[in-house]
Structure 1
Amino acid sequence: MADNSSSYSPSSSKKSAPHEPYSEAKLKKLTQALLLERQVRNKASQRNEIGFHITNDTFRLFPYRQCYLWSFYLDKVKVTHASGVSHVDDDSGFMQWFTGFVKRRVQDLDLTEDEKQEWASVHVLSQDDCGSDDQVNWDKWLQSHAVMVLFWSPAGRCFGGLWFDRDTPFQESDRILLSHVSGAYAHALYMLQRLEQTSWPEKVKNRLWGTNLRRAALIGLGVVALFPVRLSATAPSEVIPLDPYMISAPMDAVVDDILVEPNQHVEAGDILVTFDDTQLRSEKAVAEKEVQILSTELSQASRQAFSEDRSKAQLALISAQIEMKSAEISYLNQQLMRMSVKAPHAGQVVFNDASELRGQPMRTGQRLMLLAKPQNSELLVRVPVDNMVQINHDVPIRAFLNIAPLKQYNAKIHYISYKAGADTDGLMTYKIKARFTDTDARPAIGLQGTAKVYGNYTILAYHILRRPVAWLRKHLGL
């Protein structure tokens, strides 16, 4: 009985040839090539580091005596980096010949368009491929075997390359590895060249408009910049008395004492300020003494008038002198009464410091302090000239006092100075006065804080750029 099961016949089947295993040396070189490619791409924005890695680290793929990295721009060859040296001397005899030699070799090469579409093309050269003059210099400065790598742009233009030379021939494996890493070299150098040659407006455009996320962010910023906001300005503010009574010096005198404290409540008739009355009292004492003397003389003249006609004539003169001195004493008494300044009505005295007034000479009418009613107060806002805006009177001022920064006070504008004036610290400001809208919860006089005044509506971009533009116009005339 025949056996119908299939059997394996070596002669009837073809064995697939096994792949030749990669040697450890080949795997190591391939790994080094990948590492070199990554290093160059990571340094794509630093020309010096790229040149150093290319000319020195490529030695890990295959040995060579010398490597030169050169650029080709505007029909001119320039060696930018060389292995083993930190600086390339362009004026040396070797460099003068080498750059000319490379330029001639590039111009003499006859490459197809397909070859120029690659990032890099590798060309093995020898001394026999050159003319007689170049052979002499080659023998003088170069080794007998060399490889020239050309870097090609996407437009098919050579923008640089590499030169390797050594005394042993280059193998096919060396050419393949070099072709692979040279493509990465060319791509990194080309992108760096594009970045360096890009104009700054294009760089800004690429950086800001490069991705969809950036485009969306810019569009969002544009929409926000057109958002309508009310023009506003922030300035220091102070609660001041409304229609206060001014306490002033009644005459030219020196302040003797201040009998009240700042913000103290006083009643009508309370003495506020006393002036030095030493001189007035001295003048009064002298006048009273003179009246006594004149009265004695008048008495004597009256007794002598019965017998002497001369004494009768002196009676009228002495009487006139007594009346004049009496009037002087009456005037001095009135002045002494004015040496004490009293409160005309009840209220709160407003001034800075009593020690600043004591001993100070005052002129008639010079202000000493203010007498205000505590329930009558308003808000004074000092807006610096550089921060002033066109104020809208219909929009209330929002004020926040330092003692209560979370509590808001609203005030209605009733006065704006038409020109700026100097404050005590020398700052030029516009003065704005506003009455509090909430009459039941007015802050105490003398409190300070920050107020915000409002103008008309504008776009957010103008509100942000208003002060920088004003500064540029002021200082640069733009």
Structure 2
Amino acid sequence: MTDLATPAQAASPLLLLLDLAHRARDASGPDELAFMLMNDSRVLAPYRQAALWFEASGIRALSGVMQPEANAPYALWLEQVCRALAKAPDSALPRRLTADDLPAGLALEWQEWLPAEALWVPFAASPSHPGSSVGGFLVAGEAPFSDDAIALFAEWGQIWRHAWLACFRPSLWSPGQWRQALQSWRQRNARLPWWKRRPNQLALALALLLLVPVRLTVLAQGELVPARPAVIRAPLDGVIGQFQVRPNELVKAGQVLFSFDDAPISSRLEVARQALATAEVEYRQFAQMALSDVRSKGQLAVLLGKIGEKRAEAEFLASQFERSRVLAPRDGVVLFDDPSEWIGRPVQTGERVMRVADPQDVEIEAWIPIGDAIPLAEGAAVSLYLAANPFSAVPGTLRYLNHDATLRPDGSYAYRARAALQAPAGQRVGLKGTAKLHGDWVPLGYWILRRPLASIRQYLAI
């Protein structure tokens, strides 16, 4: 579209209005629309000056300038004139203006700022639209505006306002829009019986939905662990010499698992045996001397005690030497860390070194955080979703749940739960995932509000 009207368009005001309407729809933004209203509306009727005003922002645009100066005397006077026109009793309709239609204080300056004749086209406000505000535009010229010109400007004002509001799309999350929609909704249902009103029906449906019973569940970190493993602990104080098995190796009962460095024990055992042999030789000497020497008989009892002491020490060291080679107490899989971390490391009696577990004797171990603890009865359903196979759950039944929270390696406290498998899992020990523990049936409303209410309750002393 061109800015200048062709001779054919000049003969038809409706074609001029259609041309402006097309250009308004194609405008790129509010600034272009404001410039068009101030300067291009002359094709409908001649005028000398124009102003666009909104109650929320004041003078928005003036004809002949790119950006109005808000503190200029002309703009300040126009601001007062437009406010007075917006508050007039017939402010909703377009009307002709002269200086006599304004308050006395504003009418005195009319001749200084505006021509003799003017036209006021108001805009109504729409509370649900962010770009809407009470306002209007004022055009002024030397000749009075005809009725046809007033009708064209009124229609053009409505077209322009529609294009203006289209530049300000209301947000879907606008509080004003939702509030207005709710109010209109209530008004439409006000004349119906209470059971037919849509808000009451929705409230009843929501109440029934919140009473629907659901299972109270909790998610926790889970793992497949041996159910009844044989714990292999260090039988004596010493240094581990070597391992005869590898991690996750199948072993038989009586098979050597690992052994201690036996050099210190064997040397002490040899010394104890030599001391025992010396004590026995000394005893035989005194026994022969006792046949002829009465005093030698008194030493025999002492030597017998010494022999018993040396024999007990030798037997103890012999048993220690035998225990330095640790044997598997049962068939199963050995579970322990990297052997290189144990070899040459001193251990104390009772320190756990490894476990021997039956590959088929597996159960679920879960750690329930303190904040997620729910009442769980023995035999409650437990499902373990392994990270290695997340699409199929490993079912189980709760066997026991700790009463006291336990400190975990990550520094958090949690309740330890064990669940027996309902069927062989077919998965190896040590696989981790997420365990879902099922509690009692509760209303849906309690299921939704349980965690928020628990969090709020910690900060309220009611």
User: Which category of TM-score, normalised to the shorter sequence, fits these structures?
Assistant: 0.7 to 0.9
Alignment partner, residue 52 of structure 2 = 69
Query: 1:305, CA displacement in angstroms?
Result: 10
Alignment partner, residue 19 of structure 2 = 32
Within 1, Cα distance between the matches of 2:23 and 2:271? 113
For residues 263-317 of structure 1, give each alpha carbon's deviation from its aligned partner in whole angstroms, at most 9, with x where no partner exists. 3332221111211223223333444565677788889999999999999999887
Shift in alpha-carbon separation, 1:50–1:473, aligned structure 2, 3 A? farther
Within 2, Cα distance between the matches of 1:355 and 1:265? 19
Q: Indicate yes or no: 2:95 matched with 1:95.
A: no
Shift in alpha-carbon separation, 1:26–1:367, aligned structure 2, 3 A? same
Within 2, Cα distance between the matches of 1:36 and 1:331? 108
Within 1, Cα distance between the matches of 2:427 and 2:401? 21
Shift in alpha-carbon separation, 1:467–1:405, aligned structure 2, 3 A? same
Alignment partner, residue 250 of structure 2 = 265
Within 2, Cα distance between the matches of 1:290 and 1:395? 64
Alignment partner, residue 373 of structure 1 = 358
Q: Indicate yes or no: 2:447 matched with 1:463.
A: yes
Within 2, Cα distance between the matches of 1:190 and 1:401? 55
Contact 2:54 2:60 in 1 (8 A): yes
Look up the SS of the partner of 2:109 in the other structure: helix
Shift in alpha-carbon separation, 1:200–1:175, aligned structure 2, 3 A? closer
Instruction: Please tell me the residue identity of whatever aligns with 1:174.
Output: A
Q: Give the TM-score normalised by structure 1.
A: 0.70
Q: Indicate yes or no: 2:268 matched with 1:283.
A: yes
Within 2, Cα distance between the matches of 1:313 and 1:323? 17
Within 2, Cα distance between the matches of 1:71 and 1:339? 96
Give structure 2 stretches of 5+ with no counterpart: 1-7, 127-132, 189-197
Look up the SS of the partner of 1:256 in the other structure: strand
Look up the SS of the partner of 2:330 in the other structure: coil
Contact 1:382 1:429 in 2 (8 A): yes
Shift in alpha-carbon separation, 1:132–1:370, aligned structure 2, 3 A? closer
Q: 2:177 aligns with which of 173, 195, 203?
A: 203
Alignment partner, residue 448 of structure 1 = 432
Within 1, Cα distance between the matches of 2:119 and 2:332? 103
Shift in alpha-carbon separation, 1:254–1:302, aligned structure 2, 3 A? same
Query: 1:39, CA displacement in angstroms?
Result: 7.0
Aligned residues: 434
Look up the SS of the partner of 2:315 in the other structure: helix
Alignment partner, residue 94 of structure 2 = 121
Within 1, Cα distance between the matches of 2:183 and 2:209? 18
For residues 334-366 of structure 1, give each alpha carbon's deviation from its aligned partner in whole angstroms, at most 9, with x where no partner exists. 211111111223333333443343333222112
Look up the SS of the partner of 1:413 in the other structure: strand
Q: Of the two, which has the highest radius of gyration?
A: 1
Q: Indicate yes or no: 2:151 matched with 1:176.
A: yes
Look up the SS of the partner of 2:94 in the other structure: strand
Within 2, Cα distance between the matches of 1:455 and 1:103? 67
Alignment partner, residue 5 of structure 1 = none
Shift in alpha-carbon separation, 1:177–1:477, aligned structure 2, 3 A? farther
RMSD: 4.9
For residues 403-447 of structure 1, give each alpha carbon's deviation from its aligned partner in whole angstroms, at most 9, with x where no partner exists. 544444332222011132223333432222122233x66654334
Within 2, Cα distance between the matches of 1:393 and 1:88? 79
Alignment partner, residue 140 of structure 1 = 112
Q: 1:250 aligns with which of 225, 235, 238?
A: 235
For residues 157-209 of structure 1, give each alpha carbon's deviation from its aligned partner in whole angstroms, at most 9, with x where no partner exists. x943322224565455432211222345568889999x89xx97553345679
Shift in alpha-carbon separation, 1:407–1:227, aligned structure 2, 3 A? same
Instruction: Please tell me the residue identity of whatever aligns with 1:138.
Output: W
Contact 2:96 2:145 in 1 (8 A): no
Query: 1:88, CA displacement in angstroms?
Result: 4.4
Within 1, Cα distance between the matches of 2:205 and 2:340? 57
Look up the SS of the partner of 1:120 in the other structure: coil
Give structure 1 stretches of 5+ with no counterpart: 1-20
* Equivalence map 1:2-81=2 (5 Å): 24-35=11-22, 54-56=37-39, 58-59=41-42, 61-72=44-55, 78-81=58-61
Q: Structure 1 vs Structure 2: percent identity of aligned residues?
A: 29
Shift in alpha-carbon separation, 1:123–1:183, aligned structure 2, 3 A? farther
Query: 1:23, CA displacement in angstroms?
Result: 5.9
Contact 1:146 1:163 in 2 (8 A): yes
Alignment partner, residue 6 of structure 1 = none
Shift in alpha-carbon separation, 1:316–1:65, aligned structure 2, 3 A? farther
Q: Give the TM-score normalised by structure 2.
A: 0.72
Contact 2:86 2:135 in 1 (8 A): no
Alignment partner, residue 8 of structure 1 = none
Query: 1:72, CA displacement in angstroms?
Result: 4.9
Instruction: Please tell me the residue identity of whatever aligns with 1:258.
Output: F
Within 2, Cα distance between the matches of 1:50 and 1:463? 54
Q: Indicate yes or no: 2:374 matched with 1:414.
A: no
Shift in alpha-carbon separation, 1:363–1:150, aligned structure 2, 3 A? same
Within 2, Cα distance between the matches of 1:319 and 1:242? 52
Q: Indicate yes or no: 2:409 matched with 1:424.
A: yes
Within 1, Cα distance between the matches of 2:20 and 2:381? 74
Higher mean C-alpha displacement, 219-228 vs 307-316: 307-316
